A and B are shown apart, each in its own frame.
Chain A
Amino acid sequence: MTTVDARGKSCPLPIVLLAKAVRTVDVGETVTIRADDRAFPPDLEAWCQRTGNQLVSLDRSAAGHFDAVVRRS
C-alpha cells in the first residue's frame, strides 16, 4: 500500500504528492495520504472529482491532521 505523508506541507504540495503517488499504483489500488493543511479536505474532494479518482475515506485524527484514502480509477 502506498502512503504519503504531507504533514507540515502546504498548498499545492499535498495534492501534487497525491497526484504523483496515484500515478504509481495500478487502477483499483489505493493510496493513503496524511496531511494537515486546512485546505486539504476541499482540495482533495475537488481533485477527486476532477481526476475521476475515488475518495474512499477522509477522517480527521485526534492529533488534528487528516487521513484520506483514495482509490485510483
Chain B
Amino acid sequence: MLAIEKDTHQPAPDDLAPIRRVLDEHRAALEGLASRVDRLAQTAAEDRLSLVVFSGDLDRQLAAFVMATGAAASGMHVSMFFTFWGTTALRRRARVKKDLWGRMFGSLLPRGASQLPLSQLNLGGIGPAMMRHLMRRKGVCSLEELIATAAELDVNINVCTMSMDLMGLERDELIEYPNLGYCGAASFVDIAARSRTTLFV
C-alpha cells in the first residue's frame, strides 16, 4: 500500500509571486481568446445560400429559383437579392402613380414572371411561349410555381431599393410574398459574408 505523505511545506509569500504572474498572463491570454472566438462566431459562415438575381431573363430566373428551392428543401437557409432587371420578375399588374421616367421604364419592362424574355432564342417573344409549353409537357415547374414553392419553403427575398428607385418601381407593384424585404448593399454584404455559398445570376 502506498503511504501518502502530507505536504507540510508552506510556501513563503515571495514564492507565490512568480506563480501569480504566470496565472495573470494566462488569464489575459484566455480573455483575449474568448473575445476573438466571439467575434469569429458572429462572422462565421452559416449553412446559407445567397443568390444575387440580376438578370430578368426567364431562363436565368428559372435557374435561380430551382437552386433556391432545391437548397431550401435540403434544409439550407436561402436569401435571394433582386437587383436591376431581376426585379421585373417580382412585378405584378397594378395601377400605381409614377413620374414620366417611371412610366417609361414601367411600360418597356416586363410586368412579372409571365412576361420575361429568354436570354437566347427569344425570337420576339415566341421563344418564351415555346419554352413554357415545353416545360409544361416535360414536368418542369413554371417560374410562378417555383416562386410559390420558394415562399412555402421560407426562401427569403430582398429587393434592392436602389434598382427600384432607378427604374421607378413602386412597392405596390411587387407580388405578394411572405417577408419580402427591401435592402441595400450593406445588408447583402453582411448576409453574403455569412453564407457558405453566394451565386450571381
Contacts and interface: CB of A to CB of B under 8 A. Distances in A.
A and B physically associate = yes
A10 B136 CA distance: 11
Please tell me the size bucket of the interface on B.
10 to 19
Interface string A28-57: 000000000000000100110011000000
Interface string A1-18: 000000011111101101
B139 A19 contact: no
B166 interface: no
B139 A15 contact: no
Nearest to A22: B73
A11 B152 CA distance: 17
A10 B74 contact: no
B95 interface: no
In this complex, the member of A15, A16, A43, A51 whose beta carbon has the largest number of chain B beta carbons within 10 angstroms is A16
Contact of B149 (A16, A18, A51): A16
User: Helix, strand, loop or mixed for chain A's interface?
Assistant: helix
B65 to A, nearest CB: 9
Nearest to A53: B75
Contacts of B94: none
Given A11-B66, A12-B69, A16-B153, A47 B139 contact: no
A18 B149 CA distance: 13
Which of A11, A12, A47 has the most chain B CB atoms inside 10 A of its CB?
A: A12
Contact of B73 (A8, A9, A12): A12
Given A12-B69, A16-B153, A46 B139 contact: no
Contact of A13 (B74, B139, B153): B139
Interface of A: 8-13, 15-16, 18-20, 43, 46-47, 50-51
